[in-house]
Amino acid sequence: MRRLRRLAHLVLFCPFSKGLQGRLPGLRVKYVFLVWLCVFAGGWLAYVHYASYVELCRGHVCQVVICDQYHKGIISGSICQDLCTLHKVEWRTCLSSLPGQQVYSGLWQGKEVTIKCGIEESLNSKAGWDMAPRRELVLFDKPTRGTSIKEFREMLLSYLKANLGDLPSLPALVGQVLLMADFNKDSRLSLAEAKSVWALLQRHEFLLLLSLQEKEHASRLLGYCGDLYVTEGAPHRSWHGAALPPLLRPLLPPALHRALQQWLGPAWPWRAKIAIGLLEFVEELFHGSYGTFYMCETTLANVGYTAKYDFKMADLQQVAPEAAVRRFLQGRHCEHSADCTYGRDCRAPCDKLMRQCKGDLIQPNLAKVCELLRDYLLPGAPAGLREELGTQLRTCTTLSGLASQVEAHHSLVLSHLKTLLWKEISNTKYS
């Protein structure tokens, strides 16, 4: 015990000579207080990080539940054997931002991948493994035994119409879904295959991935097991605050956020190339094969890029089909336009006379993206380009979501912006 006390005394007080300690007795107390304050602050940060990790990162729960369903023959999929029997899917870093949406980086077949799996609210860390049967009953309850392939096709078509709108291209999408469900290519659809693909379609991001598979700026789907699915490896993030624990991210001051972007982000020409890809993605969302989509959380956290600085949408959770947004707004009671908000920033005006939300959004995708690009592109832009680029972006942010403006005007503004940026980086290594 005496040795421990002596060691503690040396650690706390050895930086001060005995003479100095004698002359400044108050300094010793202040030094002890400062040391313990640092220990407390460090302990609190460690606790916050651990608590947020335990709450957000429960990939082991996902794997146990999915493999339990697979071994019972309730679900199937192209990666089930590798995930549950051969254990060839390696789970690495936790990337989850919400407890109900588990996201991990991983390795499968020698490739960097992203593993995504949903956990129902009832499956929290306190619930234990006995909640797995309840999830089976709720999530994998359709289609029921005895459903014919014709009935299942009609189920799929009806579901896609409700979520994407009544589009002439939907029968072709249903065909793709059925083709994907028959992962073993035996030209027959088992009940486990049908249950798996139906559960996948209930996942919002999976539905978006399926609708945007032909687009180069959305991650490619690689495989699935039940409602767990694997996509291409997570792109690099343009927002460096994403490395912080989720509970600390709101504490990051905007000035520090901008400084991090300047110090740690790509060089300006690379940012210009990423921005061009983001503008192309806005084009892809507008009147695509499966309707129009809205970006309902336009932040740098969703702006990702590959090793070659090609834009990739980092998260599709906040991209919504036009049909879903209109269904949410239709007949919705409101007092202010804030009452007519879908997601974070898909906002429609409020008709104060009728006290109902209108159908057109106040800001279209392009205006919100241009607002984001002002902070992303203007700092560090070449001197000869900064003024014109600033003018173009200001014009772009004033665009409205009225149907009368969307077609020609938006296309013209977007085309001018892309041309301006390409002109600056073309014929260089950055192009």
pLDDT digits (tens, 9 = 90+) for 281-317: 998 888 778 888 999 988 887 888 888 899 988 888 8
Count other C-beta atoms under 10 Å from residue 288's C-beta.
16
Please tell me which residue, 105 or 99, carries the higher pLDDT value: 105
CB atoms within 10 A of CB 276: 20
Q: At residue 382, does pLDDT exceed 50? A: yes
Residue 27: pLDDT above 80?
A: no
Strands 303-305 and 311-313: antiparallel
Name the more confident of 322 and 17: 322
The more confidently predicted of residues 390 and 51 is 390
User: Is the model's pLDDT at 20 over the cut of 80?
Assistant: no
> Residue 137: pLDDT band by 50, 70, 90 thresholds?
very low
Residue 307 confidence (pLDDT): 86
pLDDT for 134 beyond 80: no
Question: Does residue 17 carry a pLDDT above 80?
Answer: no
Residues forming beta bridges with residue 224, ordered by sequence position: 229
CA torsion, points 111, 200, 117, 85, in degrees to nearest 10?
-60
Query: What is the pLDDT at residue 217?
Result: 87
Q: Are 311 and 250 in contact (CB under 8 A)?
A: no
Give the pLDDT of residue 168: 93
Longest dimension (CA), the chain: 92
Confidence of residue 190 (pLDDT cuts 50, 70, 90): very high
31 vs 122, more confident: 31
Residue 225, pLDDT > 80, answer yes
Return the minimum-mean-pLDDT range out of 17-26, 107-116, 245-254, 384-393: 17-26
